[in-house]
Structure 1
Amino acid sequence: MSAATGPYRSVFRDGLFAGRTVIVTGGGSGIGRCTAHELAALGAELALIGRKPEKLQAVAEEIRADNLNAVVEGFPCDIREEERVADTVRLVLQRFGKIDGLVNNAGGQFPAPLSQISQKGWDAVVRNNLTGGFLMARECYTQWMADHGGAIVNIVADMWNGMPNMGHSGAARAGMVNFTETAACEWGVSGVRVNAVAPGWIASSGMDTYPDWMKPLIRGMRDHVPLQRLGTEAEVSAAIVWLLSPAAAFVSGTTLRVDGGVPNARRHYPLPKHEASQPFDGFHRSVRPKVLEE
């Protein structure tokens, strides 16, 4: 993957999201950045939410450079703060007049065994990966979608069978899956669909944020994937876009895995080495993580 300028090579038809407004949290980097680019390329008007305004601005400028008519604006916000979230959603509605979709992508964690996680560390990760997503979804629903419908996609993780060294994140992500299923039931009366996407090991900028002791583990991850490779940001974005699209009009309460089959691998079955799986990378500005180049 290499950074370049040019159009996003989406598999979806041009103009698919024309006239629709979508919020993308965590839109300043990684999967959120890629998803924002794809949605903009398909005609969506975008509200990017994140804690660092400079990152939101940088992505907004990229999108405008690639799409001259793009409508995109950053809204700095800590999604863990209830009042800030409510105020930010109000600002988005004042700016765009509606909210058709929410991509609940913001989150984060740090590696540590359960025995070494303090309550403060536990609470920080749960607030990032569960509480913040709940607050964003609730405010989008109560302030707009309850009366107008919409689609919500929550980004979780491959937490099936546990997440050793990431137990706080695994618990939060599992909670978000359950929240997704509950919201799909309760909010269906308003024509709101709520789904989740669970990325596995994705070659994204987040890989470069982990400590040195994890680097060999990251470089060896592909050996544990039945498809024998890591995923791309564009492969996750495509799943998100499909769930937001009219093609998924009868899909709600589901979690779509984008993980190369990792949860299906078994210890008694040695995975054969191969290069049969060819990645899809429609994101013209993707950059391969440095850790994978070492």
Structure 2
Amino acid sequence: MNSAYRSAFRPGLLNGQVIVVTGGGSGIGRCTAHELASLGAHAVLVGRNLEKLQATADEIAGDGGRVSFHGCDIRQEEAVKAMVAEIVAAQGRIDGLVNNAGGQYIKPLEKISAKGWQAVIDTNLTGGFLVARECYLQSMAARGGAVVNIVADIWGSMPGMGHSGAARAGMVSFTETAAMEWAKSGVRVNAVAPGYIASSGMDHYPPEAGPMLREMRQTVPLGRFGNEAETSAAIVFLLSPAASFISGTVVRVDGARPQVRMGWGQVAAPDDVQQRDAVKPFDGFHRYVTPKVFQS
């Protein structure tokens, strides 16, 4: 394992910034927090699992980065208000927010209970709204800032995860509305939509989902899954000064997956083509571990 994050961005790009990452204890959130810290930001991890947050914080600190963490259930309004207040009190401000926390499970619509539906909506839509609203009210309205909401590949629907698809589509609309309403305060709001990303979140799917997950890359024109570092790079760009005139948009990180249609024949690029420089995997995250479902 190399000892440092191999970011595509220049060192010190985010020096002195305070950037909150919800769901920062695992998967894309953990990777993004590592990259932000490697670029000079103080990464503030937020999540429900203090053990995971502590482990990620220890990794970042061990790599020489600046990091802190706060436990919070983002579905609880008063808890979110208190958590953001604690961050502002400790750090003085919030410059950026990566609204990454989320979760869902595989089930067809007719088998999703009202309770299950509400739980996913609360996590993937309402919670993200609450955190963004409080970061705006308690810091960004007075100072400006950048918000990146993590959504999903909802183009063409999400069969088997209709609750998540509905929530993510709502977050896209929220992104566009917030970009309009908060521009007056110098706040940019964008979203990143990961497609099939081989992250640690896949370790939580049931074993019977394994064959389906392993075959999914055949439906991606670039012929493979993306990785956490490729998603993080899009997030960091939208937080960076280079994106200062970008707001209200969604950056897809999906290998052209939504363009696939039935009847188009061979879709996935051959294995040898996947290693050409323009499309081969970006190996940026020095602590990345391949999900168990893809390990031989």
TM, length-normalised to structure 2: 0.96
Question: In the aligned structure 2, how far is the partner of 1:208 from the partner of 1:63?
Answer: 22
Maintained 8 Å contact 1:5/1:66: no
Partner Cα separation in structure 2 for residue 16 and residue 212 of structure 1: 41
| Correspondence for 1:84 | 79
- In structure 2, the partner of 1:114 is 109
Counterpart of 1:262 (choices 240, 257, 264) is 257
Residue 209 in structure 1 maps to residue 204 in structure 2: yes
**Aligned equivalent of 1:10:** 7
Deviates further, 248-257 or 270-279: 270-279
The answer as to 2:34 corresponding to 1:32 is no
Counterparts of 1:160 and 1:266, CA distance in 2: 12
Quote how far apart the aligned CAs of 1:213 are. Answer: 2.0
Query: Structure 2: how far apart are the matches of 1:12 and 1:136?
Result: 27
Shift of 1:273: 4.3
Q: Distance in 1 between matches of 2:192 and 2:5?
A: 21
Q: CA RMSD in A?
A: 0.8
DSSP-derived class of the 1:154 partner: strand
Deviations 1:15-54 (A, max 9, x none): 0000100000000000000000000000001110000111
- Aligned residue for 1:188? 183
Partner of residue 285, structure 1? 287
Unaligned runs of 5+ in 2: 275-279
What's the secondary structure of 2:197's corresponding residue? coil
Q: Which moved more, 1:253-262 or 1:212-221?
A: 212-221
Structure 1: distance between partners of 2:9 and 2:204: 32
Instruction: Tell whether 2:28 aligns with 1:47.
Output: no
Q: Paired residues, what number?
A: 289
Tell me the secondary structure at the aligned position of residue 288 of structure 1.
Answer: coil
Offset of 1:5 from its aligned partner? 4.7
Task: State the alpha-carbon separation in 2 of the partners of residues 262 and 122 from structure 1.
Answer: 26
Is residue 23–residue 47 contact of structure 2 (8 Å, CA) maintained in 1? yes
Select 1:238's aligned residue among 233, 237, 253.
233
Instruction: Name the CA distance, whole Å, in 2 between partners of 1:128 and 1:261.
Output: 27
Q: Give the CA deviation at 1:266.
A: 1.3
Amino acid at match of 1:104: N
Which residue of 2 is the match for residue 20 of structure 1? 17
Name which of 171, 175, 179 aligns with 2:166: 171
**2:147 matched residue in structure 1:** 152
Residue number in structure 2 paired with 1:274: 270
Structure 1 unpaired stretches of 5+: none
> Following TM superposition, by how much is the alpha carbon of 1:214 offset from its aligned partner in structure 2, in angstroms?
1.1
Q: Which runs of 4+ in 1 moved over 4 A?
A: none
Amino acid at match of 1:286: Y
